[in-house]
Structure 1
Amino acid sequence: MKNLFKACAMALVLSGCASGVQIVDTTNDTADSVMGLEYRDFEKAAGEAVQSMIASGSVSKPGGGRYILAIGRMINDTMQRIDTDQLVKKIRIELLNSGKVMVTTAVAFNGPEDEMSYTARELRGNSEFDQSGIAAKGQLQAPDLSLTGKILQRNHAMGRNKTQVEYFFQLSLTEIKSGLAIWEGETPIVKRGSAKSVSW
């Protein structure tokens, strides 16, 4: 009897966990938005930034070829615990697919994204490894451009239990050689809803 009760309880738990779950078609999602940042907001901000960069010509290298981009400091100035890479990764993918930019993972604001570029070079002179397959000195490519940015959030009470939440995706593209910003963009996303809705 005890085992039967446990089996029934387990069946109820499993069926309860699975009920009401659906896979969201992210390419055709018509569900209402939320007050906090969601995937559609990051897609919008990244898409607009890349389109603006390409239209401005700032990522078109004179004479052809690709610029090398390093990722600089990205600041989250919102009330939410978000990973700024959710925005940066989308920008990187679109720029890579544009054929105009390559991203270095050997140089970044917080150190190399992929330390293997340096770790593999420590094998130089190690007789256990075929030295012909080890990267020689002077082969790492220095970045031409740096992408930095900030995500801001501002909340405003509107009366009648309504609130407005404003998000600003601010980005700057700097030419490293000169230190000049060759492109800057800002995508505002404004949401209004019940003051009871949370945005963090």
Structure 2
Amino acid sequence: MNKIISTCILAIALTGCASGVQIVDTNNDTAESVMGLEYRDFEKAASESVQSMLATGAVTNPNGGRYVLAISRMINDTMQRIDTDQLVKKIRIELLNSGKVVVTTAVGLNGPEDQMTMAARELRGNGEFNQSRVAAKGQLQAPDLSLSGKILQRNHNMSRGKQQVEYFFQLTLTDINSGLAIWEGETPIIKRGSASTVSW
């Protein structure tokens, strides 16, 4: 009897977990959009920004080689609790794949993104470690460029129970040596829908 009950519970659990679930093909997603920010919005903003940087030559090093990019402050000025890394990571990947830029994880506003870079250097002089494999002094690369930005949201009521939600992905690429912005971009994403639909 216990075996039958266990089998029934397992069958119900498996059916409940799998019911109505569908894997989304992100390369061919024709589903309706939502009023809030979704993955397609981040992909669009990242792709347009990188294509603009490449087209203007902002990330082409006239001395040859790749620029070293540091990530600065990305501000979320929307009503949604989003991680701005959802945008930044896509930009980083595309820039890295372009062959024009590498990103430093040893420098950040709140300390290194990858703390192991500095932690590994604490092994210098430790007799338990082969010193020929410990990172030498003067090997870290200082950044040439800094990427900063903001994501804005503005909501507007429209007639006939409609609303318009406007998102703006604003980015600035700064030459750290001169402090001058060498590229700036803004990708607007405008959505219209029912005023009863929440955008957060």
Q: State the TM-score, normalized to the length of structure 1.
A: 0.96
Q: Compute the displacement of 1:16 (Å).
A: 1.9
Cα displacement string for residues 19-78 of structure 1 (whole angstroms, at most 9, x for unaligned residues): 111111100111100111001000000000000001111100003110000000000011
Counterpart residue type for residue 63 of structure 2: G
Cα displacement string for residues 142-192 of structure 1 (whole angstroms, at most 9, x for unaligned residues): 000000000011111102111110000000000001110000000000000
Cα displacement string for residues 77-98 of structure 1 (whole angstroms, at most 9, x for unaligned residues): 1111111000000000000000
Cα displacement string for residues 102-129 of structure 1 (whole angstroms, at most 9, x for unaligned residues): 0000001221010111000000000000
Structure 2 CA distance for aligned equivalents of residues 132 and 5 of structure 1: 63
Q: Compute the displacement of 1:197 (Å).
A: 1.1
Structure 2 CA distance for aligned equivalents of residues 147 and 86 of structure 1: 15
Query: Who is 2:92 aligned against?
Result: 92
- When the two chains are superposed, the root-mean-square deviation of aligned CA atoms in Å is 1.3
Q: Does 1:129 align with 2:133?
A: no
Q: How does 1:146-165 map to 2 (within 5 A)?
A: 146-165=146-165
The more displaced of 7-16 and 107-116 is: 7-16
Query: Who is 2:117 aligned against?
Result: 117
Structure 2 CA distance for aligned equivalents of residues 135 and 182 of structure 1: 33
Counterpart residue type for residue 128 of structure 1: E
Structure 1 gap segments, 5+ residues each: none
Query: Who is 1:57 aligned against?
Result: 57
Counterpart residue type for residue 195 of structure 2: A
User: Equivalent residue of 1:129, what SS?
Assistant: coil
When the two structures are aligned, how many residues end up with a matched partner? 200
The list of structure 1 runs, each at least 4 consecutive aligned residues, that deviate by more than 6 angstroms after superposition, is none
Counterpart residue type for residue 76 of structure 1: N
User: Equivalent residue of 1:46, what SS?
Assistant: helix
Structure 2 CA distance for aligned equivalents of residues 135 and 68 of structure 1: 19
Counterpart residue type for residue 170 of structure 1: Q
The more displaced of 102-111 and 184-193 is: 102-111
Query: Who is 1:195 aligned against?
Result: 195
Q: State the TM-score, normalized to the length of structure 2.
A: 0.96
Q: Compute the displacement of 1:3 (Å).
A: 6.9
Q: Compute the displacement of 1:4 (Å).
A: 4.7
The percent identity for this pair of structures is: 77
Query: Who is 2:142 aligned against?
Result: 142
Structure 2 gap segments, 5+ residues each: none
Query: Who is 1:186 aligned against?
Result: 186
Structure 1 CA distance for aligned equivalents of residues 189 and 75 of structure 2: 17
Q: Compute the displacement of 1:14 (Å).
A: 2.6
